[in-house]
Amino acid sequence: MKTALITGGTKGIGKAIALAFLQRGYEVVLNYHSDQQAAIAAQEEFNIQGYCPILLRADVSDELQVKNMFKEFFSIYGKLDVLVNNAGISKVKVIQDTTVGDWDKVFAVNAKSAFLCSREVANKMIFAGGGSIVNVASVWGEVGASCEVAYSASKGAVIAFTKALAKELAPSNVRVNCVSPGVIDTAMNSHLTDDEMRELVEEIPAGRIGLPSDVGEAVAFIAENSYITGEILSVGGGFGK
């Protein structure tokens, strides 16, 4: 049985990614940090659909918690086939109002977590004969977003991290790719007004904002393709191109 662990896997895009792997027959572990109520609700929703994902709580920006999470994971499962580094936060502020604490927190959750989790599983995947790591970035990491400098920079770092790690691990049959969502219908975009959302939709060639399931299917596809590595797959209906 193949296994997948999704960080930030109990809400929004992470939850849709989890469903995509569950539908493909994977044993899925959902990482979450602070919202236990939402995590349990997501698990119960999957249970109703006939799936039995496991919950593992950890702040994936904390080195010790990451180590303990994977220690628990590997005590349950012998190997990890797919790691999805999806956990992320945003910070909407002009640069003058962005504190060092804001910057460090965004980078810790969005970029440092991908480093910590990938480092923790690299040897396990190498010794198992292969594996797949998928990082979730953002279109803003490709083109930049006004009033989201920290977020955009952190997602740009995830993209560069993906390209470098892919070259490093490819000889060991461990593939590393990145999915870069555009404007997706999640709580992270709930701060946008109706007018702002309409303006964004007008800039999307596909004529609509994306669904979490659009991203989930893209992650599953790129995770399973045996000859794709180092790629940045944009899922944004042509936005930003």
Residue 133 burial class via C-beta count within 10 angstroms: exposed 0-12, middle 13-18, buried 19 and up = buried
Q: Estimate the crossing angle of helix 36-48 against helix 12-23, to 10 degrees.
A: 30
Which is nearest to 190 in space by CA: 209, 205, 207?
209
Q: Residue 87 CA to chain centroid, in angstroms?
A: 5
Report how far residue 159's alpha carbon sits from residue 163's, in angstroms, rounded to the nearest whole number.
Answer: 6
151 noted as active-site residue: yes
> Closest Cα to residue 61, out of 127, 122, 105, 120?
105
Catalytic residue among 26, 51, 151, 227: 151
Task: Give φ, ψ of 132 to 5 degrees.
Answer: -140, 130
Where in the sequence numbering do the catalytic residues fall? 151
